[in-house]
Amino acid sequence: MNQKKQPKSAFAEWTQAIVITLIIAIILRSFVFLFARVEGISMLDTLHEGDRLLVSKISYVIGKPDYGDIVIINVSSNAEYVKRIIGKGGDRIKIQQSTVYKNGIALEEGYLQPDLIYDDFAEVIVPKGFYFVLGDNRPRSKDSRYPSVGFIAEENIDGKVIFRVWPFNNFNSPYRTGN
């Protein structure tokens, strides 16, 4: 007996395509990347309110967070912030006269607004397995200087910002060094 395979209906083909697309999207969103929206002004002039960011979740599966990385951090169950990594475990961090010092050496931070003035911060030692993060708009940033944020455990870093994807006229990498 010779059986002929019945062709799939258009509805079944569309349904299958949509289900496969959704599964792929869920996997990518869960394990590879996510999109984030900047809320607030703590990362001015690097990032602006309303910017949409492409964030790599896999970067820290294959590598470790590094100095200068702009990251999405999970501060609590309902708060995620975007900040820049300034210090890693074992580093001594202090702020004096609007200059950040890491292990006694002043950081050159070309990404900051010129003539930015912000408060001193007594020297701390970053615990092993943790990170010290700051916003680029230091006077208006809630970051590792505040007990409510503090040092960031590596497992609380959700990903590394790769690109600004919105607005389209400013599509680029948010990493710049300045002069």
Coil, helix or strand at residue 65: coil
83 catalytically annotated: yes
Element (H, E) at 124: strand 121-125
From residue 73, alpha-carbon distances to 9, 110, 154 in Å are 46, 23, 9
Q: What is the token pair recorded at 168?
A: 């389209």
Q: What is the token pair recorded at 81?
A: 């912030």
Give the closest residue to 175 by CA, choosing from 167, 164, 165, 101. 164
Choosing from 57, 83, 88, 160, the catalytic residue is 83
30 catalytically annotated: no
Break the chain down into helix, strand, coil percent, rounded to 5: 20, 35, 45
Give the closest residue to 91 by CA, choosing from 101, 80, 106, 81. 101
Q: Annotated active-site positions, please?
A: 42, 83
